[in-house]
Amino acid sequence: MSVTVLYETKAVATGNREGDGMAETLDGSLKLNLAAPKELGGSGNGNNPEEIFAVGYAACFIGAMKAVASKSEYLKLPADAKATATVGIGPYSEGGYGLKVSLDVSLPGLEKAAAEELVQKAHEVCPYSNATRGNVDMELSVSV
C-alpha cells in the first residue's frame, strides 16, 4: 500500500532519553527536553517518547473523528469531544520492548451506538491506528 503524501514534517532527536537529550522539529515549532520517567530510573525532568506518542495519537484520533463525521449525515462530532491516549512500555516475554495503548474517547451528547460507530470508523482511518494495527496491544473505550 502506498501513501500520497499531503504534508510532512521532520524532527531530530539528539543525546538520549536519560536526561541530556533533546528533540525538536526542524522548523522550530516544537522543542522538548528528553528524560526517562522516574518509573524507568530517569529523572522525569523532561518528556519521553511515550508521552509524545500519546499526545500525537490523541490529537490525531480527534482529527480522524472529525474527518469521519464531516462525511456523514448523521454522525456528528461534539465540540467537547475528548480522546485520552494512555501509552505503556515494557518488555516482551520473548525479548525486546513493546507498547500498549488504550484510547478512551468521550463524546458527550451522542447516543452510545452512534458514538461507538464514530469511534470504530475513525479507528479505521486514523493514521496512528493504521500504523499500530497488529503491532501494538490496543484497547478502545467510548463514553457519552
Dist CA 49 CA 85 (whole Å) = 13
- Which residues on neighbouring strands pair with residue 68, listed in sequence order? none
Tens-digit pLDDT string for the chain (144 aa) = 799 999 999 999 998 766 679 999 999 999 999 998 999 888 889 999 999 999 999 999 999 999 999 999 989 899 999 999 999 999 998 999 999 999 999 999 999 999 999 999 999 999 999 999 999 999 999 999
What is the strand order of the sheet 11-14 is part of? 11-14, 21-25, 31-34
Q: Quick one: cell of 91?
A: 518488555
Domains and CATH numbers, the chain: 1-47 (2.20.25.10), 49-142 (3.30.300.20)
Helix or strand run (H / E) with residue 117: helix 112-125
- CB 52: neighbour CB atoms within 10 A? 17
